[in-house]
């Protein structure tokens, strides 16, 4: 009950603060996009510099000069994700986007928007392989340009959302060392009522009438993934996407549902350093419902058809992780498992002892009930007292 109350209070706070965001790149535990329900260890600070890119050649024909021209369009994003373990059940993350291609014939953004999240997780029965949690997320419009082609919809307002998290770990003591799977289900509110989707200078008279958002754009977000760790590499596979509850107006550059498939490889040369490479493939259709100046060219997709993600995640704090040797880690794990096994054996013995005690108490109670019933019959004269019993009483 206390946990539920805390979650409700934090959610209300985030709503009234009008803060925003669901970051597509996962800065904490889990896969590239799918978040784990457990939180980072207390006092652990990790930093995740990351970049992703997509490109495509677009051809056009000049009928007057009877010649073809080609232009390569790139969509590149660079960010740095920071994650910190506050306590056993809380972690905090902040992700500023340091660079974003705009693809609007204008200068690109240095920096772009900033995402902030608070994860409340690692909840569940101690012996269970399942854990649950929730993440409250925000997006601050620290950049100037929005409604960007090839990227998720954003119009420059403070957005907010939350995501329910569920995870399964084959190794309950050290979940990241064994097969693990994760499910994320989230809600996102763009808080965009009254915002203008494009400047008047780019709009015709007809489009000027529909440039403002009248209803808040809202989306359902989902992600599911599984990770298989080995000694030096982790292999991941996940599916993620969005489904609109309330679509933004037709002037929005990105207003369609989408689904991506991601495959990732994580190389772990040290306990404090991971190199992560993954690829996104869009498995949903190439539909484009946008009209006006933000519509893609006829031979370009509305969302990137593929993306390459490259990053390196390393532990900054505690500094003691740099001195810990693999032998020490294995010994600690063995000691932890031994303590758990001993606790299980002790609990089993206590349970067996308690069961035996309950059985004995039950037998004694049944005997007492029989004696009381017999005494009642004797007092009522329904049963004679044996002579031997009278002599013994005397």
**What's the CATH number where 52 sits?**
2.40.160.40
Is residue 248 located within the same domain as residue 348? no
Instruction: Name the DSSP letter for residue 274.
Output: E
- How far is residue 340's CA from residue 191's CA, in Å, rounded to a whole number? 48
Please count the other Cβ atoms lying within 10 Å of the Cβ belonging to residue 42.
14
Question: With a threshold of 0.85, does the pTM exceed it?
Answer: no
Instruction: Locate 287 and state its tokens.
Output: 């539909």
Greater confidence (102 vs 260) lies with 260
Per-range mean pLDDT, top range of 92-96, 106-110, 299-303, 332-336: 92-96
Lowest mean pLDDT among 66-80, 252-266, 268-282: 66-80
Number of domains the chain is built from: 2
State residue 331's pLDDT score. Answer: 60
Domain edge (last residue) among 272, 296, 324: 324
Greater confidence (121 vs 373) lies with 121
Q: Please, what is the average pLDDT of the chain?
A: 83
Cα-Cα-Cα-Cα dihedral sign, residues 304, 248, 95, 134? negative
Is residue 238 located within the same domain as residue 382? no
- Backbone φ and ψ for 290, nearest 5 degrees, come out as -75, 140
Pairing assessment for the beta strands 114-123 and 90-100 based on DSSP bridges: antiparallel
Domain range for 227:
2-324
Closest CA to 269 of 229, 236, 324, 231: 231
DSSP per-residue string spanning 297-310 = PTTS-SB-SEEEEE
Task: Give the DSSP H/E element, type plus range, for residue 249.
Answer: none
Per residue in 41-75, pLDDT (tens digit) is: 999 999 999 999 999 998 876 666 667 788 888 99
State residue 51's pLDDT score. Answer: 95
Lowest mean pLDDT among 14-23, 70-79, 80-89, 99-108: 14-23
- Band of residue 5 on the pLDDT scale cut at 50, 70, 90: very low
Domain edge (last residue) among 272, 292, 324: 324
- How far is residue 278's CA from residue 70's CA, in Å, rounded to a whole number? 29
3-state class (DSSP) for residue 292: coil
Percent of the chain at pLDDT above 70?
A: 78
């Amino acid at each position: 009950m206390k946990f539920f109350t805390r979650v409700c209070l934090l959610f209300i706070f985030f709503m009234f603060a009008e803060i925003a965001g669901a970051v597509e790149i996962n800065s904490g535990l889990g896969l590239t996009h799918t978040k784990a329900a457990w939180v980072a260890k207390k006092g652990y600070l990790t930093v995740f510099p990351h970049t992703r890119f997509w490109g495509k050649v677009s051809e056009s024909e000049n009928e007057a000069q009877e010649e073809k021209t080609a232009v390569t369009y790139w969509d590149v994003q660079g960010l740095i994700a920071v994650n910190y373990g506050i306590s056993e059940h809380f972690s905090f993350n902040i992700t500023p986007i340091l660079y974003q291609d705009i693809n609007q014939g204008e200068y690109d953004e240095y920096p772009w928007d900033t995402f902030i999240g608070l994860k409340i997780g690692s909840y569940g029965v101690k012996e269970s392989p399942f854990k649950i949690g929730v993440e409250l997320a925000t997006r601050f419009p620290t950049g100037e340009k929005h409604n960007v082609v090839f990227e998720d919809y954003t119009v420059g307002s403070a957005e907010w959302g939350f995501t329910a998290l569920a995870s399964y770990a084959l190794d309950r003591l050290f979940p990241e060392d064994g097969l693990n799977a994760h499910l994320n289900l989230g809600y996102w509110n763009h808080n965009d009522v009254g915002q203008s989707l494009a400047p008047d200078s780019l709009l015709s008279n007809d489009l000027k009438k529909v440039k403002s958002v009248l209803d808040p754009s809202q989306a359902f977000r989902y992600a599911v993934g599984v990770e298989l760790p080995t000694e030096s590499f982790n292999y991941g596979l996940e599916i993620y996407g969005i489904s609109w509850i309330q679509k933004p107006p037709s002037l929005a550059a990105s207003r369609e549902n989408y689904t991506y498939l991601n495959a990732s490889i994580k190389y772990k040369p040290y306990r404090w350093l991971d190199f992560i490479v993954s690829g996104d493939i869009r498995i949903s259709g190439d539909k484009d419902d946008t009209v006006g100046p933000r519509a893609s060219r006829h031979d370009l997709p509305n969302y990137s058809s593929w993306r390459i993600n490259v990053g390196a995640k390393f532990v900054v704090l505690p500094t003691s992780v740099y001195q810990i040797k693999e032998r020490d880690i294995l010994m600690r794990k063995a000691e932890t498992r031994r303590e758990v096994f001993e606790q299980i054996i002790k609990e089993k013995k206590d349970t067996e002892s308690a069961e035996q005690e309950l059985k004995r108490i039950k037998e004694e109670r049944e005997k007492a009930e029989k004696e009381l019933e017999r005494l009642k019959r004797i007092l009522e004269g329904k049963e004679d007292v044996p002579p031997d019993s009278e002599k013994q009483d005397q």
